């Protein structure tokens, strides 16, 4: 595990963008696992800049997003589908046929339908040869994707119930009203994430400091899903000084 501490959010984002750009130059057909939320916004902005100014070419890449809220149409302004288009896909030369986002319109009562869909998502990743890199944020409660505390380390793409903490944290995108935040999400599982050949976990700000500390200096525990990155042979954490502020070890 490598921990790279950058001075601030912008430097963290640039560093991560540089790593992704190198990956794409090395392998134009890269399969990228993508995340949403506030954390990767700066990374996407920098990648867009590299596309516009330095000709970084996404045309052969395939992408798979980590998760999507259940119950939102792709057109809903807070769906992760909308997020990705608005903040990344609409500004680069990625082929929309090769950018996959979990379907948020599954019927939570149709267990067989959900199973078939989630297996299909996993198979699509396999068909592309697996994820070369998975970008991750971290929840203040230690979640990765929407794998909330207690999620099995063996889990695959499936439906998860969001915790009150996650819904509170994300209410800022839903008129600050937790009642508007969906209760369920479809998410890659922890085993799906761990299959990626490389993990890049980003964290910024004081509100992530404790989660980062638990993830990399605490015991590996299902109660801190991000702590599983300690077991990954190619995990890189790129974090800013604030997110690193609780670390005790001299990384
Ligand atoms: C988003 C995702 C989540 C976020 C996490 C942090 O696709 O999978 O795990 O990475 O909730 O969110 P932000 O970056 O908004 O603090």
pLDDT tens by residue, 145-198: 999 999 999 999 999 999 999 999 999 999 999 999 999 999 999 999 999 999
Q: Is 141 a catalytic residue?
A: yes
Q: Is 148 a catalytic residue?
A: yes
CA of 198 to the centre of ligand 1 (A): 18
For atom 4 of ligand 1, which residue has the closest CA? Answer: 137
HEC states along the chain?
CEEEEECCHHHHHHHHHHHHHHHHHHCCCCEEEECCCCCCHHHHHHHHHHHHHHCCCCCCCEEEECEEECCCCCCCCCCHHHHHHHHCHHHCCCCHHHEECCCCCCCCCCHHHHHHHHHHHHHHHHHCCCCCEEEECCCCCCCECCECCCCCCCCCCEEEECCHHHHHHHHHHCCCCHHHCCCEEEECCHHHHHCCCEEEEEECCHHHHHHHHHHHHCCCECCEHHHHHHHCCCEEEEEECCCCCCCCCCC
For atom 3 of ligand 1, which residue has the closest CA? Answer: 145
Q: What is the pTM of this model?
A: 0.97
Q: Which atom of ligand 1 is nearest to the CA of 80?
A: 7
Q: Which atom of ligand 1 is nearest to the CA of 166?
A: 11
Q: How do residues 89-105 score in pLDDT, each as one tens digit? A: 999 999 999 999 999 99
Q: How do residues 54-85 score in pLDDT, each as one tens digit? A: 999 999 999 999 999 999 999 999 999 999 99
Give all domains of the chain, ordered by start, each with its CATH number: 2-219+227-240 (3.40.50.1360)
For atom 10 of ligand 1, which residue has the closest CA? Answer: 137
């Amino acid at each position: 595990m490598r921990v790279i501490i950058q001075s601030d959010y912008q430097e963290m984002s640039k560093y991560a963008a540089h790593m992704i750009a190198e990956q794409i130059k090395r392998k134009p057909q890269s399969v990228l696992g993508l995340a949403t939320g506030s954390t990767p916004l700066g990374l996407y902005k920098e990648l867009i800049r590299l596309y516009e100014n330095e000709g970084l070419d996404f045309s052969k890449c395939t992408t798979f997003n980590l998760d999507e809220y259940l119950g939102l149409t792709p057109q809903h302004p807070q769906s992760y589908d909308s997020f990705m288009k608005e903040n990344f896909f609409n500004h680069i030369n990625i082929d929309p046929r090769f950018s996959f986002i979990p379907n948020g319109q599954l019927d939570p009562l149709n267990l067989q339908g959900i199973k078939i869909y989630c297996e299909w998502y996993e198979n699509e990743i396999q068909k592309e040869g697996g994820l070369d890199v998975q970008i991750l944020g971290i929840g203040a409660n230690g979640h990765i994707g929407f794998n909330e505390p207690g999620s099995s380390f063996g889990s695959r793409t499936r439906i998860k119930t969001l915790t009150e903490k996650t819904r509170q944290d994300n209410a800022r995108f839903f008129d600050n009203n937790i009642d508007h935040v969906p209760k369920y999400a479809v998410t890659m599982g922890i085993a799906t994430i761990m299959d990626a050949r490389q993990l890049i976990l980003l964290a910024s700000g004081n509100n992530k400091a404790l989660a980062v500390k638990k993830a990399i200096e605490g015991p590996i525990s299902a109660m801190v899903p991000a702590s599983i990155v300690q077991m990954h042979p190619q995990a890189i954490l790129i974090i800013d000084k604030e997110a690193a502020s609780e670390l005790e070890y001299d990384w």
